[in-house]
Amino acid sequence: MNVWPTDWLPVAIGVVAFLYAAVGHAGATGYIAVMTLAGIAAATVRPTALALNVIVATIGTVQFTRAGHLRGGLLVPLALASAPAAFIGGGLSLPLPIFKGLLGAILAFSAFRQLAEARRGEVPTPAAALPPVARSPSWPGLLVLGALVGLLAGLTGVGGGVFLTPALLALRVAPLKTVAAVTAPFILVNSLAGLAGRAVSSGIGLEGVSRPILLAAVVGGFLGSQAGAFQLPVRSLRILLAVVLAIASVNLLAASLYPPAR
């Protein structure tokens, strides 16, 4: 039964695309949430979310690269390891309620952490008290992280940004806008790999991708990534990131308590 007016679905998709694109994400967890509320079949929701991810992540990659925030040395090992792992995860069909519940709790903690960081930004902090940005981790470390995030992305049907961004920020490998710039193409690679894995295992199934939804994702993704890459200050990005992680957390926790029918 629909609990969301389907006429408003493109608007909701556009809002999700804007919020996520502003922080270098593509919105899969948000798309899954609003499409589920709209009563779209579970078998269609996951591939549709990945397809919208490809669109928004492509736009975000271009925008954050134009703004000069991308670091190829950080992206390459992450993407190399994540793509095959996402392909494998995209082809699996497992009962995941406990797994999703745990991930949801982790993302909820990450959301609270980002809000705390944003609030701390309101008060001037001595430079000596600011956490330093660490050197980039080794390639083996990035390969392991990329593989883990890629597998999680494939299993849960998302691009992996909601897992990668908190991990990179916790490791303090780069400033927030650089992390966002790395996350967008990372999501693009994983979403394509996840779609490929699904196509091999059971077909893609993109019945839910209508023209209004595509247009909403393009417009929301462009405006959001433009704001995030060129206009919004870091504190505002942290608040938006907290919102994005909270949406992802609620979606995963709900999926763990009320698994969708296959």
Per-residue pLDDT of 9-59, as tens digits, reads 899 999 999 999 999 999 888 888 888 888 887 777 878 888 899 999 999
- Computed over every residue of the chain, the mean pLDDT equals 82
The predicted structure's pLDDT at residue 28: 86
> For the chain, how long is the longest CA-to-CA vector?
56
Q: How many CA atoms lie within 13 A of 155 on its CB side?
A: 17
The predicted pLDDT at position 122 comes to 46
What is the signed CA dihedral for 188, 253, 224, 220, rounded to 10 degrees? 80
Can you give the pLDDT at residue 197? 75
**Which pLDDT score is estimated for 204?**
59
Phi, psi angles (nearest 5°) of residue 93: -135, 100
Q: For 200, how many CA atoms within 13 A lie in the half-sphere containing its CB?
A: 12
pLDDT tens string 71-112:
988 999 999 999 888 888 877 766 667 767 777 887 888 888
CB atoms < 10 A from the CB of 101, how many?
16
Confidence label for 190 from pLDDT (cuts 50, 70 and 90): confident
User: Would the pLDDT of 183 be above 90?
Assistant: yes
Torsions phi, psi for 214 (to 5 deg)? -60, -45
Neighbour tally for 212: CB within 10 Å: 13
> How far apart (Å, rounded) are the C-alpha atoms in residues 207 and 221?
21
3-state secondary structure of 174: coil
Give domain limits for the chain. 6-120+131-257
